[in-house]
Amino acid sequence: MHFGEHLMIDGYRGNKDKLDDEHLVKRCLKELPMKLGMRVLLGPKVVHAPSNGKKDSGGWTGFVIIAESHISIHTFPLRGFVSIDVYTCKNGMDTDFILKYFKEKFGLKDIEKHFIKRGTRYPGKNLY
């Protein structure tokens, strides 16, 4: 038994205009929890993150807090890059659906994914 699952997505060569669309980022954060049967507690909240003059050329960063944990999106339009986290305490995450969802939404040409089972030693009962 494990506590939850964490899918980390790095998307490459995405569509610049889609990655620079505040409303699209917000729509993804609103839609995806519903599609996955998650309960939204707060958000979505999306803000513009300015360039830091180094490797970060700026973009949109957003999150939604769900009862099961959170989903976050960080776009870098000038680099064609997006970094996404989907973390939930539910088990059996449909990673194929989520990867396809973001690939279509942001026009991603390549995806790097990491999937981690979280809390592999999570206690089966309350300790206190």
Active site residues: 69, 74, 89
Among candidate residues 5, 84, 73, the one with its CA nearest the CA of residue 38:
5
Q: Is 50 strand, coil or helix?
A: coil
Rg, C-alpha atoms of the chain: 15
In 57-107 the beta strands, taken as DSSP E runs, fall at 59-66, 69-76, 81-88
Single-letter amino acid code for the residue at 36: L
Q: How far is CA 92 from the centre of its chain?
A: 17
Do you know the residue count of the chain?
A: 128
